[in-house]
């Protein structure tokens, strides 16, 4: 049950600035590995498998931490859990900055992965301190700032690493994060604890959930190389089925489950999760395939762009993603969740199908990527805002955490599917995949995205003026 207390104070400007800065710095630190992975592999002598592990270890940790953070935030209050979690992230940033070897850097990334859990905790805070309509806008702004931080990290990590060193590309955003965490601790008002369940932690459920998510991501990571290790992949699939079955059984019997499966029975939650998964498969396909097409120089397709040009080509899409967060929150408040998500889904599906047919000029890909990023950001933010404000206040963290985990899994599935498709379409003795792989990838992603319209038709309008 939820403890009846006097209403908490409204967030002041200083607290909002601190929370926004925290989100911006978190996004910047989260994004520095991707554009500099070749540099890290070269300087640390990583193998390709180690580089692949480095690129997903933060994702794995985030998928584990997010539902746990949401549960603890609902129970003990968003601010105390948020601040403690961000100190773990700061420690991870410092470890990554000082890392002399690959194992130490991997350890730093594991600690940094706790940052993903900060997102539902931020939603808990704004939900408790702001009215419903304002909460939707604030959630959109938070989502936009996280993406904006990611854009800053993506654009600056390479130059910082090349002009200073790889250590500084981790250190600079970590220093900003330390300052923002301190300001958040000092300026953010306390929010009361939520439901009281005896303070018990469902450790068996947490362990099985952790094993399930790690195994799932390993299955996705190995899917593109199934021919080289079919028995290993088959074994992991069987292990995944066993772990998921055991987890469901444990959670159904737990007095205070880490993830309340009854939450997934709520129409708002399961529809949001399913729709988020579908949309993120389409989004991640574009995120993976568009830069690959920029870089390749095939027979009549591709553009042979270097890393600097690819970064410039992706800037319009990054800007659109930044705008999408606040726009999604505002639009959901003004026009209703169902209409906004339906319109965004149509734009996204149409853009994917069109770029499958027409991709002979740079601007074709630039415009398509921009529209996909804008539509996806608007839709997912509207879904998060609707979920956060549709469940009981004490369930905000776990409900949005489930949506965010689904988002992570959707991205992982889309990227791995794109990678497997390009690998299968690469002729022996060549490193250039056939153009048909890109056509099929974009078209299938568009078709999957369009399926989301079947879900939006069953959703409530959700208008809050």
- Find the range with the poorest average confidence among 169-173, 272-276, 311-315, 344-348: 311-315
pLDDT tens-digit readout, 403-454: 777 877 787 777 777 777 777 777 777 767 888 888 998 999 999 999 888 8
Could you tell me the pLDDT band of residue 185, with boundaries at 50, 70 and 90?
confident
Token code pair at residue 315: 């800037």
Q: What's residue 39's pLDDT?
A: 73
Q: What is the mean pLDDT of residues 347-351?
A: 93
Q: Which residues contact 174 (CB under 8 A, 6 or more apart)?
A: 29, 90, 93, 94, 96, 97
Do residues 417 and 309 lie in contact, with contact meaning Cβ atoms separated by under 8 Å?
no
Percentage with pLDDT > 90 across the chain:
11
Cα 154 from Cα 35, distance rounded (Å): 6
Q: What's residue 156's pLDDT?
A: 79
Q: Which residues pair with 2 in a beta bridge?
A: 195
Q: What is the mean pLDDT of residues 58-82?
A: 73
Dihedral of alpha carbons 48, 54, 55, 61, sign:
positive
Res 34 pLDDT > 80: no
What integer best gives the mean pLDDT of the chain?
A: 77
**Tokens 């004490």 identify what position?**
394
Could you tell me the pLDDT band of residue 246, with boundaries at 50, 70 and 90?
very high
Query: Which region holds residue 257: left if phi is over 0, alpha if psi is between -120 and 50, else beta?
Result: beta
Q: What is the mean pLDDT of residues 2-10?
A: 46
Cα 381 from Cα 140, distance rounded (Å): 6
Q: What's residue 288's pLDDT?
A: 74
Kind and range of the H or E run holding 184? helix 166-187
Q: Reduced to 3 states, what is the DSSP secondary structure of residue 8?
A: coil
Q: What's residue 133's pLDDT?
A: 57
pLDDT tens-digit readout, 129-167: 665 556 666 666 776 677 777 778 877 787 888 788 889
Distance (Å) of CA 418 to CA 165, 192, 345: 32, 45, 20
Q: What's residue 258's pLDDT?
A: 66
């Amino acid at each position: 049950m939820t403890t009846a207390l006097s209403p908490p104070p409204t967030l002041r400007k200083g607290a909002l600035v601190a929370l926004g800065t925290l989100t911006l710095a978190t996004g910047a630190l989260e994004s520095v590995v991707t554009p500099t992975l070749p540099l890290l592999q070269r300087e640390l002598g990583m193998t390709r498998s180690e580089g692949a592990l480095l690129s997903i270890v933060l994702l794995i940790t985030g998928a584990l931490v997010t539902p746990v953070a949401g549960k603890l935030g609902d129970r003990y209050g968003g601010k105390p859990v948020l601040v403690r979690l961000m100190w773990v992230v700061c420690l991870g940033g410092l470890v990554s900055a000082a890392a002399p070897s690959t194992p130490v850097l991997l350890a730093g990334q594991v600690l940094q992965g706790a940052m993903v859990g900060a997102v539902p905790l931020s939603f808990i805070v704004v939900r408790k301190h702001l009215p419903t309509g304002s909460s939707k806008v604030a959630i959109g702004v938070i989502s936009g700032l996280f993406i904006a931080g990611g854009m800053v990290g993506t654009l600056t990590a390479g130059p910082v690493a090349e002009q200073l060193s790889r250590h500084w590309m981790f250190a600079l955003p970590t220093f900003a994060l330390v300052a923002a965490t301190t300001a958040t601790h000092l300026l953010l008002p306390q929010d009361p604890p939520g439901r009281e369940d005896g303070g018990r932690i469902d450790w068996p459920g947490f362990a099985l959930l952790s094993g399930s998510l790690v195994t799932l991501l390993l299955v996705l990571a190995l899917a593109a190389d199934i021919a080289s290790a079919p028995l290993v992949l088959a074994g992991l699939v069987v292990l995944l089925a066993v772990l998921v079955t055991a987890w469901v059984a444990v959670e159904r019997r737990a007095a205070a489950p880490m993830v309340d499966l009854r939450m997934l029975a709520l129409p708002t939650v399961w529809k949001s999760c399913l729709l988020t998964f579908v949309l993120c498969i389409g989004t991640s396909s574009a995120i993976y395939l568009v830069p690959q097409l920029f870089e390749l120089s095939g027979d009549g397709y591709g553009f042979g762009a270097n890393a600097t040009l690819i970064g410039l080509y992706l800037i319009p899409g990054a800007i659109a993603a930044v705008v999408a967060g606040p726009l999604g929150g505002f639009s959901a408040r003004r026009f209703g969740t169902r209409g906004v998500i339906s319109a965004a889904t149509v734009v996204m599906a149409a853009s994917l199908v069109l770029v499958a047919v027409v991709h002979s000029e740079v601007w074709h890909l630039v415009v398509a990527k921009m529209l996909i990023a804008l539509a996806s950001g608007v839709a997912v933010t509207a879904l998060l805002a609707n979920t956060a404000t549709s469940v009981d206040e004490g369930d905000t963290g776990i409900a949005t955490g489930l949506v965010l985990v689904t988002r992570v899994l959707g991205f992982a599935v889309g990227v791995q599917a794109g990678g497997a498709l390009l690998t299968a379409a690469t002729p022996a003795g060549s490193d250039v995949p056939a153009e048909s792989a890109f056509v099929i990838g974009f078209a299938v992603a568009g078709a999957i995205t369009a399926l989301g319209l079947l879900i939006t038709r069953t959703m409530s309008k959700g208008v809050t003026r």
